[in-house]
Structure 1
Amino acid sequence: MPLETVPTVRLTTAQALVRFLAAQHAERDGIEQRLIPGVWGIFGHGNVAGLGQALLQAARTGEADLPYHLARNEQAMVHAAAAYAKMRDRLQTFACTASTGPGSTNMITGAALATANRLPVLLLPSDMFASRVPDPVLQQLEDTRAGDVSVNDAFRPVSKYFDRVSRPEQLIPAALAAMRVLTDPVETGAVTLCLPQDVQAEAFDWPVDFFRRRVWRVGRPAPEPAAVRRVAALLRSAERPLIVAGGGVVYSGAMAELRAFAEATGIPVADTHAGKGAIPWDHPSAVGGLGATGTSAANALAAEADVVLGVGTRYSDFTTASHTVFAAPDVTFANLNVARLDAAKHAAEMLLADAKSGLAALAEALEGWSVGDDYRAEALRLADEWRATADRCLRLGHGPLPAQTEILGALGEVLDDADVVINAAGSMPGDLQMLWRARDPKAYHVEYAYSCMGYEIAAGVGAKLAAPEREVVVLVGDGSYLMLSSEIATMVAEGLKAIIVIVQNHGFASIGALSESLGSQRFGTAYRYRDDESGLLDGDVLPVDLAANAASLGADVISANGVAEFREALRKAKANPRVTVVHVETDPRGPNPPGSAWWEVPVSEVSELDSTRTARAEYDAHKRHQRHYL
């Protein structure tokens, strides 16, 4: 029809965006669901009269179903959106709106986390005036090199798609492009649409079709038959193959296919943080976490593996132990991945496909083939040996303060298989990868691509919204807690039940141990008064009361002294319908699980300190085993 007869509706840019987002859906395997079920936001100048007004109008009139959630910190709301997307297999996420200036730039860390983890989040930072009439506006960056640069340009390197909507009609292609990236398993991550504050409030005659119900199909790319044959031939030639299961197995929903493939072929399965639970911890093929914080079983098998099949893994430096864990001189890789970037790593034979369809095709191509009985028996023996070691770590009897591993042991005794454990930073991710016994991949929620301190409590909000039927348990050290505990108030306001376990050791236990191993003597890693004589922060312990702090934010609080009290506190917390914080102190020097691999952190090449010179000698020794996989 002629353009002048195309049906239109007059709305502001913000009102149009709200109506558009409410009409977007994602579909995979015939199941449709809302792509953007709601918006997180903190209002200030820049969005209060734009998106704020639009969301209020939608709620009052019913013209668009897009619920609003109030966060307490802009970084935290992006973490909540990312955690929600992770729990929902990247098929749903939230939009996040913030005010001009610091409100918006506070979201950058969350954007980096989402993109590093390849999790979709939609960011709507408010921007300076497109008209540039009130110039410079409050909180505007004045760049002497260019007139169109704002602080929001800092989102560019951490976003998978970035656009600035400087005229209302630009929203149409920008919004459609945003949905395309959010629903692309290869390209997904943070998507940023900068919205100048005057444009948000500007009216335009929008084509009605812009607001029609749209379904974005998330397909399952099938593998090329020739590539399947090549990878199958490589595996048939192997005597000591190993599977590395990554997050792609989980997001694809390929857990059953992975188990069936491992059972048929006898290939042992090691996992990454993102892949933990893809195969149950006690499955005969499971050998546990791989790499710098991996199990002795997985790392021993990796050291002698001749063919490594990576499934949905991006091979982080922790997974490869900084390129030292795969030690066989002639080790060869085959990578099944939907992303060419990851499929090509380590000069691998590439199998570009969705994990579910790719594993099914490989299973068919390898029908009748299996590893030798001796190799199966060796993998079982190594896994059993590690489980005995883990049992000892989880029940140490350390005192007077318990070791962190004992807290994890008590937690594992009380929680059910479907209860979600969330963590991101400090020493706990390493302990969890080695010791946590996951049967359900959604029950293990450790963010370790960006390992962002402060993620945990905010992620608890997102995880609980995504899976209200599950118990959500946030594991957070005092370091992360002090960085970002504000979303406890959000949990209370939203009526979200979660258990928050604060493990207090008066400092940064992980970095303290790392500092000591690198010859830096735990410098700057403890929460202490400054000592008048030394001039350093090594005086008495600070009188910080995290339990009282949590209570002030509206949570119920239980303080536990020792493992037995902690175990009982957890049971009470599970029975409590409200947000409950369980506070327990641990020994920062408590024994860690025995390591069996390396992680590269450079040590000073010259030093006046004996401790640093010793650490450098150890570093040089490890470097000799490092290699490119070619």
Structure 2
Amino acid sequence: MAKKIPLTTAQALIKFLNQQYISIDGVETPFVEGIFHIFGHGNVLGIGEALQENPGHLKSFQGKNEQGMAHSAIGFAKQSLRKKIYAVTASSGPGSANLLTATATAFANNIPILLLPADTFASRQPDPVLQQMEQPLSAAITTNDAFRPISRYWDRVQRPEQLMSALIRGFEVLTNPESAGPVTISICQDTEGEVFDYPEEFFKKRVHYVDRRQPTERELNEAVALIQSSKHPVLLAGGGAKYSEAGEIIEKLASTHNIPVVETHAGKSIVTPDFPQAMGGAGVLGTAPANQVLMEADLVIGVGTRYSDFTTSSKTLFNFETTKFLNINVNRFQTTKFDGLQVVADAKATLTAISDTLSDYQTEFNDVLAQYKQNWQAERSRLRQTTFSRTDFEPEFPGHFSQDKLNTYADRLKTELTQTSALLTINELFDENAIVISSAGSLPGDMQRTWDAKGKNTFHLEYGYSCMGYEVAAALGTKLAEPEKESYAFVGDGSFLMMHTELVTALQYDKKINVLLFDNAGYGSINNLQMEHGLNSQGTELSNSQDQVMQIDYAKIAEAYGAVSYKVNNLEDLTAALLAAKEQTSSTLIEIKVLPKTMSNDAIGSWWRTGVSQLSTSPKVQAISDHEMAESKKAWLY
């Protein structure tokens, strides 16, 4: 008879997590690195007790906000190329509900994360307990049902023995590249402490093998034929290409056959800017070279991308009458986009097979790629050297703010620094292996468009969900993933105010992160969107009741937490602060005061469809609406 081990549900959970391994390309490593937790009603006496008693190899971190710690776990898994994860546990009710935003972020980005929200009593005898909502429709509905539509797998454990099937099914999803995403297993709080005789076999070492799915012979032959019949193919590298570690074979294909490479937000840094065929980021936030080659393309080879609206310029970037699509993805659903040729297989394996078959094929781009890049470097140089003038300044977004208003901003913020000159100065000073993180506001546009990622996998942009507040928390996650590298969160003042609590966690556990806070006293990205579509500025600037720009000292906030902080408003001080921060052993924050309207503007081919009113008393709004409707009709309907 099989041996039984009496354990509580929570103890069994921790024991199981310690025994999960993943094997990729013959390299076997533990899959679960540790657990982020905020203990409270529903999990402190269950999972909390189990972690105290026998944590095994699992590391344990006390988060400061449920959303923040889950974003740290996402940042860790993303930077680890989905080879390792952190679990996250929160108390029942509002604590668990705070995880919803991060869960949706993981879902949109296909990032594995194990969520363990505490649930109400399975027995229902004490109901309604503290922090329990009552749904008259059904006593079986709890807060945690809200996780169902944003989880790749969802389960509720109401009896100790249910834990076994829940975890086995959950880890199949977590370790499967096709289905990778958030797994939510809600454990009722009384069940966490209940004892069950678990079979010893349940706790055996489990190795989850990730075998690279090869393209079928038909898929390969059709893909090669499609490429060989094209004259101007473009390789569009997405996050799936990065997770597949396809960078080397992408470079081989591109250099051998002179195929330009453009990157999505998740794919950026799969090649470096000095690579001759690297054209930069694509789409709304893209570079002119990347968008130019996509507009000229007769074939788009989409590798590990879901073709989001920002990547495709709301489906207006391509000429659908002349452009064909070859879609390579482990997820079959994603290969159906734009009626492309579907290759449901691993990116690295597929591109390797294509490379072995293409022979002496050459595109007809010839020397034009070098010219496109040279023109773009001239534009980057202009942005780097842009300086403010109090008399005749031409901002990147002209016509939004008057010269007087910009002067007022300069006086209140005590700065004349432009955002692009600050960003590109930072870029020049960065080490090759330093990791940059961003997510929301105007910074993702500047970074996707102008940032030169000097090292592979050093650009960490969450733009699948563009979740405000992701940046500081994810910087902690990337630091945990690659502790030998400097980790920098690029964050606007609006996003910093939304969420920065895990800076305290980084300080608490001596995990150095660096926060580069660009303060333009408002939500610049949305203000631009608002004013570009004919509206006045409203509710997007940080102004007080006297309509004066607020003067917030963010450096003091960081200093109060215990971080080393710097305040800069010119390039000389910025350079000094960056060099000093690099030498610090503790977390740092550099508050960079920049003027509004000085972020980079759209490149060629950039257009984003938004919900403009189709009926307005404003002639300007109406004209923009009519133009948008005309543009949208050019888009592919699928």
Q: Aligned residue for 1:434?
A: 449
Deviates more, 1:602-611 or 1:503-512: 602-611
Is 1:461 aligned to 2:469, yes or no?
no
Q: Aligned residue for 1:393?
A: 383
Is 1:30 aligned to 2:26, yes or no?
yes
3-state SS, counterpart of residue 283 of structure 2: coil
Q: Aligned residue for 1:559?
A: 567
The number of residues matched between the two structures is 612
1:12 aligned to which of 8, 13, 26: 8
Q: Aligned residue for 2:201?
A: 209
Tell me how far apart the structure 2 counterparts of residues 529 and 180 of structure 1 sit (CA, whole Å).
52
Paired residues for 1:310-389 under 5 Å:
310-327=302-319, 329-372=321-364, 375-389=365-379
Q: Is this contact kept in 2: 1:275–1:441, CA < 8 A?
A: no
Please, what is the CA RMSD of the aligned residues?
1.3
Q: Is this contact kept in 1: 2:68–2:473, CA < 8 A?
A: yes
Q: Is this contact kept in 1: 2:240–2:267, CA < 8 A?
A: yes
Q: Aligned residue for 2:626?
A: 617
2:267 aligned to which of 269, 275, 278: 275
Q: Is this contact kept in 2: 1:393–1:593, CA < 8 A?
A: no
Is 1:544 aligned to 2:534, yes or no?
no
Q: Is this contact kept in 2: 1:511–1:522, CA < 8 A?
A: no
**Deviations along 1:317-374, whole A, 9 cap, x unmatched?**
01110000002522110011111111111101111111111000011121111113xx
Is 1:93 aligned to 2:85, yes or no?
yes
Q: What letter matches 2:361 in structure 1?
A: W
3-state SS, counterpart of residue 572 of structure 1: helix
Paired residues for 1:66-215 under 5 Å:
66-215=58-207
2:594 aligned to which of 582, 586, 590: 586
Tell me how far apart the structure 1 counterparts of residues 450 and 385 of structure 2 sit (CA, whole Å).
11
Tell me how far apart the structure 1 counterparts of residues 378 and 539 of structure 2 sit (CA, whole Å).
36
How far did 1:524 drift?
0.7
**Deviations along 1:563-591, whole A, 9 cap, x unmatched?**
22111100100011110110111011225
Deviates more, 1:280-289 or 1:9-18: 280-289
How far did 1:398 drift?
3.2
Tell me how far apart the structure 2 counterparts of residues 292 and 273 of structure 1 sit (CA, whole Å).
11
Moved over 6 A (4+): none
Tell me how far apart the structure 2 counterparts of residues 475 and 154 of structure 1 sit (CA, whole Å).
31
3-state SS, counterpart of residue 43 of structure 1: coil
Change beyond 3 A, Cα 1:417–1:602: same
Q: Aligned residue for 2:610?
A: 601
Is 1:568 aligned to 2:558, yes or no?
no
**Deviations along 1:522-554, whole A, 9 cap, x unmatched?**
2110111235xxxxxxx1122422111111122
Q: Is this contact kept in 1: 2:338–2:636, CA < 8 A?
A: no
Deviates more, 1:111-120 or 1:543-552: 543-552
Is 1:40 aligned to 2:36, yes or no?
yes
Tell me how far apart the structure 1 counterparts of residues 159 and 384 of structure 2 sit (CA, whole Å).
59
Identity of aligned residues (%): 39
**Deviations along 1:97-149, whole A, 9 cap, x unmatched?**
00010000100111000010000000000000000000111111211111211
How far did 1:55 drift?
0.4
Q: Is this contact kept in 1: 2:563–2:586, CA < 8 A?
A: yes
Q: Is this contact kept in 1: 2:489–2:515, CA < 8 A?
A: yes
Tell me how far apart the structure 2 counterparts of residues 628 and 199 of structure 1 sit (CA, whole Å).
49
Tell me how far apart the structure 2 counterparts of residues 56 and 611 of structure 1 sit (CA, whole Å).
63
How far did 1:222 drift?
0.6
Where structure 2 has 5 or more consecutive residues not aligned to the other structure, the ranges are: 390-414
Q: Aligned residue for 1:240?
A: 232
Q: Aligned residue for 1:534?
A: none
1:530 aligned to which of 545, 556, 575: 545
1:498 aligned to which of 508, 513, 525: 513
How far did 1:613 drift?
2.4
**Deviations along 1:387-408, whole A, 9 cap, x unmatched?**
2211211232235522211121
Tell me how far apart the structure 2 counterparts of residues 398 and 422 of structure 1 sit (CA, whole Å).
27
Q: What letter matches 2:596 in structure 1?
A: P
How far did 1:485 drift?
1.2
Q: Is this contact kept in 1: 2:119–2:144, CA < 8 A?
A: yes
Q: What letter matches 1:460 in structure 2?
A: A
Tell me how far apart the structure 1 counterparts of residues 593 and 67 of structure 2 sit (CA, whole Å).
27
Change beyond 3 A, Cα 1:128–1:328: closer
Q: Is this contact kept in 1: 2:68–2:500, CA < 8 A?
A: no
Change beyond 3 A, Cα 1:248–1:275: same
**Deviations along 1:71-109, whole A, 9 cap, x unmatched?**
000001111111100111101000000001000010011
How far did 1:223 drift?
0.6
Q: What letter matches 1:587 in structure 2?
A: L
Q: Aligned residue for 1:535?
A: none
Tell me how far apart the structure 2 counterparts of residues 258 and 352 of structure 1 sit (CA, whole Å).
18
Q: Is this contact kept in 1: 2:157–2:186, CA < 8 A?
A: yes
Q: Is this contact kept in 1: 2:34–2:60, CA < 8 A?
A: yes
Tell me how far apart the structure 2 counterparts of residues 269 and 219 of structure 1 sit (CA, whole Å).
26
Where structure 1 has 5 or more consecutive residues not aligned to the other structure, the ranges are: 532-538
Tell me how far apart the structure 2 counterparts of residues 98 and 472 of structure 1 sit (CA, whole Å).
26
Tell me how far apart the structure 2 counterparts of residues 356 and 439 of structure 1 sit (CA, whole Å).
22
Tell me how far apart the structure 2 counterparts of residues 299 and 89 of structure 1 sit (CA, whole Å).
27
How far did 1:621 drift?
3.9
3-state SS, counterpart of residue 97 of structure 1: strand
How far did 1:594 drift?
4.2
Q: Is this contact kept in 2: 1:58–1:65, CA < 8 A?
A: no
Tell me how far apart the structure 2 counterparts of residues 277 and 542 of structure 1 sit (CA, whole Å).
36
